[in-house]
Amino acid sequence: CRTYLPENACKLDDSRVHIYFDNALRFIRRSCDEYDLIIVDSNDPFGATEGYFTREFYGICYNALREDGIMVNQHENPFYPADAVAMQRAHARIVASFPIAKVYQAQIPTYPSGYWLFGFASKTIHPIRDVNFDSWLQLGIETKYYNPNLHRGSFALPNYVEKILRKVE
């Protein structure tokens, strides 16, 4: 990573960064009320990584998060039928595990169809109502992509996606 992606790896030496090479299911199972944020960047929900899309895994993540913690995950692509079913199944399991479970979208040209969904889950934090955009703006961070309007808009989903999700909410 340091050799080929130095821009991404530049903070790996930060004392707050800890990298563990372990099976995620086994690792997270040992945690309780420990994490502020869990990012699940897994492969597709088929084969060897299917375990990262189960109700058991989401329940383990729930237990590992602090009361105001957040879990985000890849939620697949709603455009292709098999992927839409996988997305719906994952969302149903997250909804069953977390009191707050929302889906947001992004355009990622290198992903299938260029359109991708992500899941947001929390015990107490709502991704729109509980964000203090004024505080964020006061930080004066210049970004190339993110801004408060994009944040809000990413949770506004097309009707066909909302229809798929409503079936399991």
Q: Which residues are catalytic?
A: 41
Kindly report the number of other CB atoms within 10 A of residue 63's CB atom.
14
Kindly list the distances between the CA atom of residue 169 and the CA atoms of 65, 77, 98, in Å, as whole numbers in the listed order: 22, 18, 11
Q: Encoding tokens for residue 54?
A: 């189960």
* Strand order across the 35-40 sheet: 35-40, 65-74, 115-122, 100-107
Per the structure block, which two tokens stand in for 28?
Answer: 């997270």
Beta strands in the chain (DSSP E): 35-40, 65-74, 100-107, 115-122
Do residues 164 and 88 touch, judged by C-beta distance below 8 A? yes
